[in-house]
Structure 1
Amino acid sequence: MTITHNPYLLYLVTDDQQSITTLEHVVREAVAGGITMVQVREKQGDIRTFIQRALIIKTVLQQAYIATGHHIPLIINDRVDVALAVDADGVHLGQSDMPVALARQLLGQDKLIGLSIETEQQLLDSATLPIDYIGLSAIFTTATKSNLITHWGITGLQRAATISQFPIVAIGGINHTNLSSVMAAGADGVAIVSAISHADDPRQAAAGILATLSTNKYKQ
């Protein structure tokens, strides 16, 4: 897969509590606002619904590509089987999901694999894994992630950036009030849920976040 820009910069993670109609609207508007990657996150356990929602989002992204020539990667949360079923661009795995090496074997070399990192030991262990990026979780307290091991904070993010050889997507409690400090600490991008999905105007919310990110230094 050839990606010439930083796909991690503004990484939308979908809200599995939203209806399919709302989900499609949010993603379509967020794409217009400038998001650079989408992760479909479903925690309800209904694989058919997961696939249905992923395919709807894939259609939105394909339509955007036809209109603009700009490819926005589609990432599936946790489920390698769903990623394969919809031919997504990749998968994002947690520490209790399918082992990374097996996921890479099943997905092949041209798909993206992200891995959630919650402790410094996991960060060190990730150095030898066949992944493309890490999701550092959680930077700040957030209602969308429970049972967290670590709140990294800005200091922890800075340390992680000096250790990791992979791009870092900062996850957890990120909004317009802390975007600049997160990027300045060494993140390559930010994962956003509520600040876009629950915004009155997802397009405007995404565009505003992107504008803030673009004023900070980040890796291309």
Structure 2
Amino acid sequence: MAAAKVGAGCWQQRDAPGGHRCAQNIANQAIQGGSRCRSLEQKRTRLARTGPRHTGNTAAPFRDRQGRRDPRRKVFSPPDFPDTVPALDPFILRQRLEHARLLLVFSPSSLQAGLAVLEAALPHVDLVQVRPKQAREERSSSALARDWTRAVLKLVAHAPDVAPLVMVNDHVDVAALLRNEGCAGVHLGQEDCPVQEARAFLGADLLIGLSTHTNEQVAATWNEPVDYLGFGPIYPSSTKSTGPALGPERAWIAASATTRPLFPIGGIDRSCAAELAQVGRAAVSSAILTAEDPGSVAQTLRALLSPD
């Protein structure tokens, strides 16, 4: 899996030429008679001229027999993704959330090229909610959620200029585990961990989102320690069934009844996103993830949600 490679921190150069390891190998080969050089001194001369051979994941410079670099051969240098990122400031988190417009519900389990699709959409989304649901399972395992969220965080860290906030779906434990790697918080459903318990576990810094499906559920969050709401389904959705479609007018009423950012969700695509311009926000999944050009679709959706 491409995601497994992004965190590898094993591309550092080895010891300088002439290190004790090379000398020990030379001595052993000379004693056993397996050296191709005529003498130990010849091999030491070669090492002094060309440097030690590199093995493993490290790519050595290509040289000819005279020890000169071959300009026709390129040295492979994998990107060095950081394992940790600076702690997220809670004030900045909520300020960015307040200005967020497009939330992408990222379900990589159903995609053949999940990270490639996400990378194309990154410049146009403000939040990514990682939701790696498995087929025939309502909830994903913590290990699967952890691995995919970590992979998304690595990808986002590699593109800091367009980096959206990254949330994990359902798993409060994963949000806590990955907070030092940039995870902004957790998104909960009505049947997941109670919001009060999640807040007590995560502390005051991380974000908590909550799915709602009725105006009563929106009103019930007035005194709950949540930072934003999902509301839907607005239109019939093939991604997840949580009841009859509510329509854009209900979304506007719900958004007007709360002081928190509210993201309508469910069946939203380019054909209907403009109907939510008064709300100014939306959460989208399949319209972006299954598109031939995810970046273009995300950009269009974002423009359609603008109330201007």
Q: TM-score, normalised by structure 2?
A: 0.64
Percent identical across equivalent pairs? 32
Matched position secondary structure for 1:177: coil
Matching of residues 64-75 of structure 1 within 5 Å = 64-65=159-160, 68=161, 70-75=162-167
Cα shift at 1:211: 2.5
Larger Rg: 2
Structure 1: which 5+ runs fail to align? none
Going from structure 1 to structure 2, the CA distance change for 1:82 and 1:172 (only over 3 Å counts) comes to same
Q: Which residue of 2 aligns with 1:43?
A: 133
CA contact (8 A) 2:211 2:229 kept: yes
CA–CA separation in structure 2 for the residues paired with 1:24 and 1:161: 32
| 1:173 aligned to which of 267, 279, 297 | 267
Aligned CA RMSD, in angstroms, stands at 1.7
1:116 aligned partner = 211
Counterpart position of 1:161: 255
Q: Is 2:109–2:133's contact at 8 Å kept on the other side of the alignment?
A: no
Higher relative contact order (CA 8 A, sep 6+): 1
Structure 1 counterpart of 2:192, one-letter code: D
Letter in 1 for 2:125: I
- 1:193 aligned residue: 285
> 1:126 aligned to 205, 210, 221, which one?
221
Amino acid at match of 1:200: E
Of 192, 212, 236, which aligns to 1:97?
Answer: 192
| 1:139 and 1:173 in contact (8 A); partners too | yes
Q: Mark the runs of 5 or more structure 2 residues left unpaired by the alignment.
A: 1-89, 135-139
Whether contact under 8 Å (1:8, 1:169) holds in the other structure is no
The corresponding residue for 2:177 is 85
Q: Distance in 2 between matches of 1:193 and 1:161?
A: 20
TM-score, scaled to structure 1: 0.88
- 1:127 counterpart SS class: coil
1-structure distance, mates of 2:226, 2:117:
28
Secondary structure, counterpart of 1:115 in structure 2: strand
Aligned residues: 208
Tell me by how many angstroms 1:43 deviates.
Answer: 2.4
8 A Cα contact 2:132 2:148, kept in partner: no
Match for residue 142 of structure 1 among 230, 237, 245: 237
